[in-house]
Structure formats: C-alpha cells, structure tokens
Amino acid sequence: MREQRPVTALPGVGAALAAKLAHLGVERLQDLLFVLPARYEDRTCVVALGALQPGQRAAVEGEVQLAEVGYRRRRQLLCRIADGSGFLTLRFFHFPQSQVQTLARGTRLRCFGEVRRGPLGLEMVHPEYRRIGTEGSGESLEQTLTPVYPATEGLPQGRLRGLIVRALRELEEQGVQDWVPQEVLAALGLPSLQRALAYVHHPPREARLDELAAARHPAQRRLAFEELLAHQLSLRLLRRSVQSNTAWALGDPAHLAERLLAALPFALTGAQRRAFGEIDADLRRERPMARLVQGDVGCGKTVVAAAAAARALGSGLQAVLMAPTELLAEQHFRNLSEWFRPLAVPVALLTGSQAGRSRRSQQAALAAGTIGLAVGTHALFQHGVDFPRLALVIVDEQHRFGVQQRLRMQEKGREGGRFPHQLIMTATPIPRTLAMTAHADLDVSVIDELPPGRTPVRTVVLPEQRREEIVARIGEACRAGRQVYWVCPLIEESEELRRQAAEETASTLAGALPGVQIGLVHGRMPAAKKHEAMLAFKEGRLQLLVATTVIEVGVDVPNATLMIIENAEHMGLAQLHQLRGRVGRGALESSCVLLYRPPLSEVARERLTAIRQTSDGFEIARRDLELRGPGELLGTRQTGLAQLRVANLLRDADLLPHVQQAAERMLSAYPDNIAPLTARWIGASGQYGRIG
Ligand code: ADP
Ligand code: MG
C-alpha cells in the first residue's frame, strides 16, 4: 500500500530528516497525514495597516519608506512600510547585510506576523515577508487557511508544510485507503478520510477559526472518531484473544462461597449480591473472565472478591489477591484470614519485605497446593513463586497496575495449563461511557450502594490559620473515645521530606494534645513498623494517627470519625475522595477538615468546592474529568488512551457511544478492515500487547 511506504520514499527525505520526523511519530507516509495543525492562520486576505490591532496575526502589504540599521541596545534592522491607511515597523535582530539592500525605499512587501505595540507604534518582529510587484498587479494570496504544525527541533514550519502537501498529493492520486466503512460514516454524517484530511490540512478561507480551534468541525471529528475506534478495536481484539483460551469452570461443588457468606457477621448489600452474581456466572464458564468491579470507597468490594476466591478454592483450585501496597495487602490478609477461618481455609501472605524464611515456607505450601489462597503485593508474581493450580487472579485498586502487568499475571496462571479468570477492583469510578472505552477489554460490574448504617461525612474547608481550633476539635473527639487521622502535606518532593514533615507535625500535635496517644505512619517506615502502628490504631491503642498518603487506599477503622487533610489545595479530587473515605465507615457522624494555605488558585477553589458539595464518587469522577482531563483520571500507565494523538476523551466524549457501535459493526461485518486500521493508529507492535 502506498501510504505504508516509509517517509524516505518521498524525494528529498533522507536519513537525517527522517530522524527528525520520527520525533513527531512519523515513520510512514500516512503518518505525515496525521500530523495535524496545532492552529491555523488566515493569510487569505490583506489587512490594511491602519486597521491592525496589537496581538493580531495578519497578512499586510506596504511600500518600504525607510530601512536602516539601528543600535538600540542591540544591532537591529528597522524597516517602515506604509500603505496609505497607516504604517508599520518591521524589526529584525538577525539579518545579513544584503537584507538592508533588499528593503530599498519604494520596494513593495507582503508580510505575515504578529502585531505588537513597539516604541515606534505598531510593529512586527521577524515577520515572514516577500517582495511583490506594484499595487494591483494581482499577487496571489493564499486560497486556504494556513496550517501551523507542532514545532519540532530542526524542522522548520515551511519544510514540514511542504512535506505534508507532497504526501497529500501523492496519496490523492490513488486515494488514501479508508478503513472505516461508508455505512458507519454516513450514519454519523462524517466525511471520508480523504476529504477530512484535505480539509484539516487546508481549510477553505471561509472556514470558522473558532470551530477549528475547538476541533468541532466534522473533518476533525472524523479523524478523532477513527482514532478512538482504532483503540476500541484493539482492546476488543485483546479481549477476544484472552477469551479464546480455556479456563477452569469453577462449579464449587463444596459450596464454599455460600458457606463463607453465611458465616459473615453481615449480609451482602443488594449491589454486592448483584456484582457477585455476575462474577459467579462468568466463573462457571470455561472461558476466562475479565471483569472490572467498580465501586466507591467503602462499598465492600473485598468481601465480593473473597466470595469469588471461595469458588476457586471450593473447586480444588487456587486464587490470588494482589494489592498495590504492603499495608493494603496485610489488611486484606487479615480480613480474608478472619472470614475464611470458620471454614478452616488457610491464607498465605507474600510481600517484598517479608523475612526470607516465612516467605519460603509459604511459597512451598503454595507450590505443593496445600495452600489455595494467597494475598500479596506484586511480589506474588516474582520469579520463584509457583501456583500450579491457579484459577483466579484478583487485582485490587487497578489504576496502579498497567494492562501489561495484568497480562503478565495471566501468563503466570497459564503455567497450570489453563488461563486464570481475572477480577479487577477499582475505587476510581469513572463515567460509564469512558469506562467502556478505556476498559473495552473488560466486562464491568458496578457496586453502587454502601453498606447500611453509614452516615455521610461532613466536609469543611478552612484556611490554615485556623489550625488551633482544629487541634481543639481533635482533643474533643479523642476525649469522646473517637479516633482521628491527620494527613500531612504531600507537596514535598521526596519520601524523606514527607517523613520529616510528618514527624514534625506529630511532635507539635503531641505538645498541644497532652494525654492523646499519637502514632505515625509514613512511606519510609519498614512494613513491620507500619503494620504495628496501623494495628495499634485499629485496636484503639492510638487515638491520633499522623500519616502521609500511605493510608490512601483500603484502610478500615470504623471508630475514626475525624480526618484533617493539610494542604488539601494541592491534591486531586480523586485522591481527596479516597482519603476522606477512611472516615465515615461506621454509624457515627464523621467530619473531614480540608486545610489550605491561602490564596487559592481558581482550579483549587473549584476542586475544594466540589469535594465539599458531594460525596458521590461518580459525580466526583465527572468533575475530576472536567478539571484535570482523562489522562490523570485513568492514570497514564494504565491505558494507551491517555496518549491519544488526535482525539480528546473529554472534548469528544459524545463520540464514545458511536465508537462502541461502530466497533461492534466492524467486528461482525468488516473484520478485514480492523488490522490495518489499528496498525495505522496504534502501530503494528500493538500498544496493548498481545497474548494467546
Ligand atoms: P472497599 O470497597 O472500599 O474496598 P471494603 O471492602 O474495605 O471496601 O469494605 C469496607 C468495610 O465495609 C469493611 O469493614 C467491610 O468489612 C464492611 N462491609 C462490607 N460489606 C458489608 C456489608 N454488606 N454490610 C456491612 N459491612 C460491610
Ligand atoms: Mg478496597
């Protein structure tokens, strides 16, 4: 295919230029077409000098009245042109001597540049210019808007523009292959690829610059649509290839899951039951499950995961639960051990900081199959840990793991001859259409209900100056038998500085609150120490816990009813929401105090208002999406969608449902178009990895 040829196929493109183009992601001819203008300039009409405004970028014409070299601080060439309506100064700092002659009095020039206010009135600094004939001689203006491409070192605009024009012309003769079916485009009123490309590179003079700047023109939307579709298809294919493997059908003849649930001190909520029902149906099939459970902090995802694990154990097979931090792994370990104890099911814990001996004995038990359930960090999947009968992999707080890591875990399971089922749990609720786009390789279950008896957390936002009042409140809460979290500023660059800040805060608070038992947890502590402090807090031996965000995920102490977050203005909405989720876990009324250092930036103010006004994780995710964009929300490592070239998940959100439909249609009716389409946008290597 012509468009697949390397850029060096263009005359005049050698190795050096090809290397520069590679910086823009351009390797093949077609890649050039998808380098889209960052903005446009209107050079289709000449603006009268007398009508120019500072800040405007405009094409002008005039006759040179004067050109001279001046020495105002630096040597410079000043040239004054006039057109009868006014005059304009052109200022050059770098110029060959010959340029002074070119600009002889009486010469007519056409210039393009940005107008600004200068010491001699309006001026242009280093405008593009060329000499033109006498007035009325009909020097041609640009017929279309002029594209301005993203800048790359050593690749001048003019050069890039020329290459793209040539690539467009080359491909025009044959037509660029359009892999998006005509019927799909027609239904959405989107133009063909060829027309879209022609338009975005050279919009007609009557095109609206504001529409183009907002990327709302159908030609631009068409390209965004194609890119989103390519990503969607790539994820769907990944899912297909996973599902073409065989998994264990987990019938659980021992009814271990039912027995586990019956022995719990509480009944599942309706939403938990529904989610488990969906998981259960997947587990009974011989196709690997790939399911994401989304649920706000505190909705009770862990127990649902435990029930799923019980299905594997009750089928004589193994399950693992992987957490992003040691603290969280330990908490899961304690919870699962407690829940499984009545059933006499042992649980193993594997973390990186574990002593060698205990680790080896646990590994041996897992390898021998005498232990069926293991909880741990990524250490679970390090070399030397074997799970001969692994049937289910559960990943908690998925946004910290990438697609690649998940694939690696599945590979691990394959050593047992079958593919493990996969359950992923996340407390980052993202809007539904976005979830279906970002997680197109997964099925999604939602737990949209909190266990009964929780009271909403009251959130207040206060300037730092009112610290003393807060300290008094902590004292009151502790005297009433409640517990308190103090979250230290996270603006410090290093863990070490965070540790220092946390230690200072703890000692200041100890001075102000005699009689209150204060503990400290931070990222630099050995796991055993952290564990000790957390355990003491959990058991009520500590009343105030000063911490860095190591408590961000998962930690559960229902008696904690007050949380103070310092420098809240520097935290993201999702993070604040996660932190706040540590309180309000029991029946008692809880509060969260967000301290900030004035003055607040506009964005920080909006964030703090949002978090104060709502406790609904989905609503918070939506606001977060507006404030920060999807890249942040999804985590850059998690999905290739964070690095879209043309599309923007927020701006083009309304396209997402159509992208889903189009993907379905292509999978069923146009399977041959899929590989070239994904190769065009994602590259042959496949950003999401390939397995199976
Ligand atoms: P998350 O979804 O944030 O991971 P957890 O699984 O940690 O939430 O659950 C939060 C708390 O709620 C835990 O103490 C858990 O034991 C408890 N819990 C879970 N489900 C229920 C339920 N149906 N009724 C009462 N408490 C529950
Ligand atoms: Mg959790």
Average pLDDT (300-324) is 95
Residue type for 114, please?
E
pLDDT value at 642 more than 60: no
Residue 509: which of 499, 519, 524, 494 has the closest Cα? Answer: 519
Task: Please confirm whether the linkage preceding 451 is cis (ω < 30° from 0).
Answer: no
Q: CA–CA distance from 191 to each of 9, 367, 442, 532, 676 (Å)?
A: 28, 58, 31, 63, 19
Amino acid at the residue 211 = E
Atom of ligand 1 nearest to the CA of 335: 16
**Is 584 close to ligand 1, i.e. is its CB under 6 Å away?**
no
Averaged pLDDT score across all residues of the chain: 86
Q: Is any ligand 1 atom within 6 A of the Cβ of residue 324?
A: no
Would you place residue 612 in the very low, low, confident or very high pLDDT band (cuts 50, 70, 90)? very high
pTM check: above 0.85:
no
Ligand 1, atom 9: nearest CA belongs to which residue? 300
Ligand nearest to the CA of 396: 2
The per-residue pLDDT for 141 is: 78
Integer Cα distance of 286 and 267 in angstroms: 29
State how far Cα 672 lies from the chain centre. 31
Predicted local distance difference test score (pLDDT) of residue 417: 73
How much of the chain, in percent, has pLDDT values that exceed 70?
A: 90
Q: Are 207 and 145 in contact (CB under 8 A)?
A: yes
> Quick one: which ligand is closest to 300's CA?
1
Residue 153 has pLDDT above 50, yes or no: yes
Binning pLDDT at 50, 70 and 90, where does residue 461 land? very high
Cβ atoms 33, 166 nearer than 8 A: no
Q: Which of 130-144, 201-215, 529-543 has the lowest mean pLDDT?
A: 130-144
- Per residue in 321-353, pLDDT (tens digit) is 998 877 788 889 999 999 999 999 999 999 887
User: Residue 225: in which H helix or E strand, if any?
Assistant: helix 218-243
Helix (H) or strand (E) run with residue 70 in it: strand 57-72
The span from the CA of 548 to the CA of 178, in Å, is 52
The residue among 130 and 662 whose pLDDT is bigger is 662
Confidence of residue 315 (pLDDT cuts 50, 70, 90): very high
| Mean pLDDT along residues 14-21 | 88
Neighbouring C-beta atoms of residue 206, cutoff 10 Å: 8
Task: Locate 373 and state its tokens.
Answer: 């359930």
C-alpha 417 to ligand 1 mean position (Å): 34
Ligand 1 pocket check for 266: Cβ under 6 Å:
yes
- The answer, yes or no, to whether any atom of ligand 1 lies below 6 A from the CB of 261, is no
3-state secondary structure 230-297: HHHHHHHHHHHHHHCCCECCCCCCCCHHHHHHHHCCCCCCHHHHHHHHHHHHHHCCCCCCEEEEEECC
| 304 CA to centre of ligand 1 in angstroms | 9
Task: Classify the C-alpha dihedral 328-329-334-337 as positive or negative.
Answer: positive
Question: Which pLDDT score, from 0 to 100, does residue 687 have?
Answer: 46
Give pLDDT, residue 601: 87
In short, whether 144's Cβ falls inside 6 Å of ligand 1 is no
CA-nearest residue, atom 25 of ligand 1 = 451
The predicted pLDDT at position 683 comes to 66
**Ligand 1 and 451: CB distance under 6 A:** yes
Residue of higher predicted confidence among 135 and 618: 618
Residue 331, ligand 1, Cβ within 6 A: no
Those residues with Cβ within 8 angstroms of residue 301's Cβ, 6 or more apart along the chain or in another chain: 293, 295, 396, 425, 427, 447
What pLDDT does 175 receive? 74
Which domains are delineated in the chain?
2-40+148-214 (no CATH), 45-141 (2.40.50.140), 215-453+648-692 (3.40.50.300), 457-614 (3.40.50.300)
Q: Which residue has the higher pLDDT, 270 or 367?
A: 270
- Residue 244 CA, ligand 2 centroid: distance in Å: 31
Residue 631, burial from CB neighbour count under 10 angstroms (0-12, 13-18, 19+): middle
Asked if residue 684 has pLDDT above 80, the reply is no
Ligand at minimal distance from the CA of 398 is: 2
pLDDT value of residue 551: 61
305 Cβ inside 6 Å of ligand 1:
no
Kindly state if the Cβ of 6 falls inside 6 Å of ligand 1: no
Q: How far is the CA of 299 from the centre of ligand 1 (A)?
A: 6
Name, in order, each residue with C-beta under 8 angstroms of 630's C-beta and a sequence gap of 6 or more: 434, 438, 641, 642, 649, 650
For a mutational test of ligand 1's pocket, the pick from 299, 325, 580, 583, i.e. the residue with the most ligand atoms closer than 8 A to its C-beta, is 299
Q: Which range among 38-42, 114-118, 621-625 shows the weakest confidence by mean pLDDT?
A: 621-625
456 pLDDT above the threshold of 90:
no
Distance (Å) of CA 462 to CA 142, 486, 548, 572: 57, 15, 20, 17
Q: How far apart are CA 217 and CA 180, in angstroms?
A: 18
Q: How far is the CA of 436 from the centre of ligand 2 (A)?
A: 22
pLDDT tops 70 at residue 400 = no
**Is residue 195 exposed (0-12), middle (13-18) or buried (19+ Cβ within 10 Å)?**
middle
Mean pLDDT of 223-248: 90
Average pLDDT (238-262) is 92
Residue 578 and residue 552: Cα distance in Å, rounded? 6
**What is the DSSP track for 510-564?**
HHHSTT--EEEE-TTS-HHHHHHHHHHHHTTS-SEEEE-GGGSSS---TTEEEEE
Tally the residues of the chain: 692
- Asked if residue 637 has pLDDT above 50, the reply is no
For residue 604, count CB atoms less than 10 angstroms from its CB and return exposed for 0-12, middle for 13-18, buried for 19 or more: middle
Say yes or no to pLDDT of 378 above 70.
yes
pLDDT for 630 = 56
pLDDT interval class at 288 (50, 70, 90): very high
Phi, psi angle pair for 525, to nearest 5°: -75, 145
User: Does residue 685 have a pLDDT over 50?
Assistant: no
Helix, strand, or coil here: 370?
Answer: coil
- Ligand 1 pocket test target in 260, 268, 302, 399 with most atoms within 8 Å of CB: 302
Per-residue model confidence as pLDDT tens digits over 197-222: 999 999 998 898 889 988 899 999 99
Is the predicted pLDDT of residue 689 greater than 60, yes or no?
no
**N-to-C CA span, the chain:** 29
| Distance between Cα 587 and ligand 1 center (Å) | 13
